[in-house]
């Protein structure tokens, strides 16, 4: 059973920065692709970014490309999302997840484990 705990969310002004963390437990962390998704009330959980097991390959939603950076530190069992130049439309609950091996990391249905989420609010 994999456990994920997000942290680092909060209130920030537009153009500001935040760094989210996702602490993972379980020996599968270092061998699994992981991703960040976000969700706001009334909308489906949407893809933000994903990273391969060794950090060699990353992919981003077009809406966050060049502003958000996903990374991981396998020695610390932690996934990160550095968020810069934040916009009000980035406001959402951000979730980290562990992807099922051999599946597309851009689709939420391919993730077997999720954290509880951390709220990010960007004001104008």
pLDDT single digits (tens) 89-124 = 999 999 999 999 899 999 999 999 999 999 999 999
Q: Are 96 and 110 in contact (CB under 8 A)?
A: no
In the predicted model, what is the mean pLDDT of residues 77-87? Answer: 97
Q: Cα–Cα distance between 104 and 38 in angstroms, integer?
A: 17
Q: Is the pLDDT of residue 20 over 70?
A: yes
- pLDDT for the residue 26: 77
- Please choose, from the candidates 89, 97, 80, 95, the residue with its C-alpha nearest in 3D space to the C-alpha of residue 34: 97
Q: Cα–Cα distance between 113 and 3 in angstroms, integer?
A: 8
- pLDDT for the residue 28: 65
Q: Give tens-digit pLDDT for 29-70.
A: 678 999 999 999 999 999 999 999 999 999 999 999 999 999
**H helical segments located in the chain:** none
Q: Is the pLDDT of residue 75 over 70?
A: yes
């Amino acid at each position: 059973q994999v456990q994920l705990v997000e942290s680092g969310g909060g209130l920030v002004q537009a153009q500001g920065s935040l760094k989210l963390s996702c602490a993972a437990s379980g020996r599968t962390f270092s061998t699994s692709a992981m991703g960040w998704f976000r969700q706001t009330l009334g909308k489906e959980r949407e893809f933000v970014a994903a990273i391969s097991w060794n950090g060699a390959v990353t992919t981003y939603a077009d809406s966050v490309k060049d502003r958000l950076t996903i990374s991981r530190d396998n020695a610390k069992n932690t996934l990160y999302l550095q968020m810069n130049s934040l916009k009000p439309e980035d406001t959402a609950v951000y979730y980290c997840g562990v992807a099922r091996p051999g599946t597309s990391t851009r689709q939420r249905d391919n993730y077997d484990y999720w954290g509880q989420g951390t709220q990010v609010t960007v004001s104008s």
